[in-house]
Amino acid sequence: MKKLLSVLIASVVMCAAVLTGCGTATSESGSQAGGSADSDFIVGAIYINSQNDTAGYTYAHHHGIVTAMENIGLSTDTNLKIIDNVPEDDEQVRTAIEQLAGQGCDIIFGISFGYINAFAEAAEEYPDIVFCHATGYLSNDTNFNNYFGRIYQARYLAGIAAGYKSLEIGNNDIGYVSAWGTEYAETCSGINAFAMGARAVNPDAVIHVDEISTWGDQELERQAAEVLITTYGCGVIAQHCDSAQPQVVAEEQGVYGCGYNSDMSVEAPNAHLTAPVWNWDVFYQLAIETAMNESSASEFFTNIGGNYYGGLTEGMVDIAPLTDNNAPEAAEAIALARDLMVSGEWDVFSGTALSFSGEAGSVTCDLVPQALVDNEGNEIVAAGGASVDDGVIQGSMNYYVEGVVAES
Q: What is the DSSP string of 93-129?
A: HHHHHHHHHHTT-SEEEE-SGGGHHHHHHHHHH-TTS
pLDDT reported for residue 136: 87
Segments of the chain assigned to CATH 3.40.50.2300? 4-138+280-310, 151-278+316-406
pLDDT reported for residue 39: 76
At 388, the pLDDT band (50, 70, 90 cuts) reads very high
Name which of 132, 125, 28 is nearest 79 in CA terms.
28
CATH class for the domain made up of 4-138+280-310: alpha beta
Name which of 191, 180, 241 is nearest 49 in CA terms.
241
Residue 184 CB neighbour total at 10 angstroms? 18
- Is residue 318's pLDDT more than 90? yes
- 155-201 per-position pLDDT tens digit: 999 999 999 999 999 999 999 999 999 999 999 999 999 999 999 99
C-alpha neighbours within 13 Å on the C-beta side of residue 371: 8
pLDDT reported for residue 216: 80
pLDDT reported for residue 37: 61
Mean pLDDT for the chain overall: 91
- 88-129 per-position pLDDT tens digit: 999 999 999 999 999 999 999 999 999 999 999 999 999 999
Q: Classify domain 151-278+316-406 at the CATH topology level.
A: Rossmann fold (3.40.50)
- 61-78 per-position pLDDT tens digit: 999 999 999 999 999 999
